[in-house]
Amino acid sequence: MIVKYADEIAADLIIMGSHGRTGLEHMLLGSVAEGVVRRAFPPVLTIRPEGLQFSFL
């Protein structure tokens, strides 16, 4: 759905959050971000929630 929408609007970049799961947890739950990275034509920037800092807010 994300990749399809990005194609429809001719997105130059996709930015999305990632939980950063690894190992067994990742294998069992999968990763939306990983699926988008594998299928999307434009570059995908993934950001972990703890990495977000908005100094202007």
Q: 32-57, pLDDT tens digit by residue?
A: 888 898 899 999 998 877 755 656 55
Per-residue pLDDT, 54 = 58
Q: What is the dihedral of CA 41, 45, 48, 50, to 10 degrees?
A: -160
Per-residue pLDDT, 46 = 84
**CA 11 to CA 57: how far, in whole Å?**
26
Domain residue extents for the chain: 2-51
* Cα Dmax for the chain: 38
Provide the residue type at 24 as one letter: L
| 21, pLDDT greater than 60 | yes
In this predicted model, what pLDDT tens digit does every residue of 22-36 receive, in sequence order? 676 666 556 788 889
Per-residue pLDDT, 48 = 75
Q: How distant, in Å, are the alpha carbons of 10, 27, 36, 55, 57 from that of 21? A: 29, 9, 16, 27, 28
| 12, pLDDT greater than 90 | yes
